[in-house]
Structure 1
Amino acid sequence: MLSIFDQGPPDPCPTPFNLAAHVLRHAPHQSDKIALSVIGANESDDWSYARLETAIRGTATGLLKAGIKPGEIALMRLGNTVEFPIAYLGAIAAGIVPVPTSSQLTVAETQKIIDELAPAVILRDRNVACADHPHQIDLSALENMRDLPPVSYDMGDPNRMAYVVYTSGTSGKPRAVAHAHRAIWARQMMVDGWYGLTPSDRLCHAGAFNWTYTLGTGLMDPWAIGATALIPAAEMDINKLPALLRDHEATIFAAAPGVFRKILQTDESLHMPKLRHGLCAGEKLSRHLHEHWQQATGTGLYEAYGMSEVSTFISSNPDQPARGDALGQPQVGRRIAILGPDGPVAQGDEGTIAVHQTDPGLMLTYLNAPSEADAKMQGVWFLTGDQGAMAVDGQITYLGRDDDMMNAGGYRVSPVEVEAALSKHPGITQVGAAAVEVKEDTYVIAAFYTGPQILDEADLNAYVQENLARYKQPRAFIHLDVLPAGGNGKLLRRALPAYFKV
Structure 2
Amino acid sequence: MLEPAESYEAMMRDFVWRIPERYNIAYEVCDRWALREPERTCLHYFEPDGRHRSMRYGTLARRSSAFARSLAAKGITKGDRVALLLPQSFETVVAHVAIYRLGAIAVPLALLFGPDALDYRLLVSGARAVVTNAMGLEKLAEIADRRAALSCCVSIDGADRHAFGFETMCDADDTLLEPVATTAATPALMIFTSGTTGAPKGALHGHGVLAGHMPGIQYTHAFLPQPGDRMWTPADWAWAGGLLNALLPALALGVPVVASKAQKFDAETACRILAEMEVRNAFLPPTALRLLATVEAPRERFAIDLRTLSSAGEPLGTETATWAERALGVPVNELYGQTECNAVIGSCAQNGAARRGSTGLPLPGHRVALLDADGTPVGPGMRGEIAIAGPDPVMFLGYWRDAAATEAKFCGDWMLTGDHAIADTEGYITFIGREDDIITSSGFRIGPAEIENCLEGHRAVALAAVVGKPDPVRTEIVKAYVVLRPGEAGTPALAADLSAHVRAKLSAHEYPREIAFVESLPMTTTGKIIRRELRERAAREIEAADAS
Q: Structure 1-normalised TM-score?
A: 0.93
| 1:287 alignment partner in structure 2 | 318
* 2:232 is equivalent to residue 204 of structure 1: yes
After superposition, residues 56-455 of structure 1 pair within 5 angstroms as 56-128=64-136, 129-130=139-140, 131-132=143-144, 133=147, 134-139=150-155, 140=158, 141-147=165-171, 148=173, 149-196=175-222, 197-200=224-227, 201-234=229-262, 238-267=267-296, 269-271=298-300, 272=303, 274-317=305-348, 318-340=350-372, 341-439=374-472, 442-451=475-484, 452-454=488-490
Structure 1 residue 172, shift from structure 2 partner: 0.5
Which residue identity is paired with 1:248?
M
CA separation in 2, counterparts of 1:360 and 1:482? Answer: 37
Which residue identity is paired with 1:230?
V
- Give yes or no for contact 2:384–2:421 (8 Å, CA) kept in 1: yes
| 2:533 alignment partner in structure 1 | 495
Structure 1 residue 146, shift from structure 2 partner: 2.6
- Give yes or no for contact 2:274–2:304 (8 Å, CA) kept in 1: no
- Give yes or no for contact 1:406–1:445 (8 Å, CA) kept in 2: yes
Other structure's SS at 1:278 match: strand
RMSD of aligned alpha carbons: 2.2
* 2:77 is equivalent to residue 39 of structure 1: no
Shift in CA distance, 439/495, structure 1 to aligned 2, threshold 3 Å: same
Deviations 1:463-501 (A, max 9, x none): 222112222222222221222212222211222234444
Deviations 1:312-355 (A, max 9, x none): 21111232453131101111111111111141111221100001
Structure 1 residue 243, shift from structure 2 partner: 2.8
Structure 1 residue 209, shift from structure 2 partner: 4.3
- Give yes or no for contact 2:375–2:411 (8 Å, CA) kept in 1: no
Structure 2, unaligned runs of 5 or more: 1-10, 159-164, 543-548
CA separation in 2, counterparts of 1:182 and 1:209? Answer: 18
Structure 1 residue 410, shift from structure 2 partner: 1.8
Which residue identity is paired with 1:135?
S
CA separation in 1, counterparts of 2:167 and 2:284? Answer: 28
Shift in CA distance, 8/370, structure 1 to aligned 2, threshold 3 Å: farther
CA separation in 2, counterparts of 1:314 and 1:282? Answer: 12
- Give yes or no for contact 2:103–2:182 (8 Å, CA) kept in 1: no
CA separation in 1, counterparts of 2:445 and 2:88? Answer: 41
Deviations 1:439-485 (A, max 9, x none): 48831111221212225243333322211222222222222122221
Aligned residues: 498
Structure 1, unaligned runs of 5 or more: none
Deviations 1:60-82 (A, max 9, x none): 22211221111122222334432
Deviations 1:117-168 (A, max 9, x none): 3222233434212233351232243322334333211122221211111001
Which range moves more in the overlay, 228-237 or 241-250? Answer: 228-237
Shift in CA distance, 121/273, structure 1 to aligned 2, threshold 3 Å: closer
Q: Which structure carries more relative contact order (alpha carbon 8 Å, separation 6+)?
A: 1
Structure 1 residue 257, shift from structure 2 partner: 1.7
CA separation in 1, counterparts of 2:531 and 2:123? Answer: 29
- Give yes or no for contact 1:204–1:253 (8 Å, CA) kept in 2: yes
Shift in CA distance, 440/60, structure 1 to aligned 2, threshold 3 Å: farther
- Give yes or no for contact 2:240–2:342 (8 Å, CA) kept in 1: no
Deviations 1:159-181 (A, max 9, x none): 12111110011111110111011
- Give yes or no for contact 1:348–1:389 (8 Å, CA) kept in 2: yes
Which residue identity is paired with 1:466?
A
> 1:54 aligned to 48, 52, 62, which one?
62
Deviations 1:385-437 (A, max 9, x none): 10012222221100111111111112111111211222222222211111102
Q: Percent identity?
A: 23
Which range moves more in the overlay, 460-469 or 278-287? Answer: 460-469
Deviations 1:30-52 (A, max 9, x none): 22121100112311110011111
Which residue identity is paired with 2:128?
A
Other structure's SS at 2:461 match: coil
Other structure's SS at 1:491 match: coil
| 1:17 alignment partner in structure 2 | 23
CA separation in 1, counterparts of 2:127 and 2:424? Answer: 45
Other structure's SS at 2:83 match: strand
Which residue identity is paired with 1:296?
A
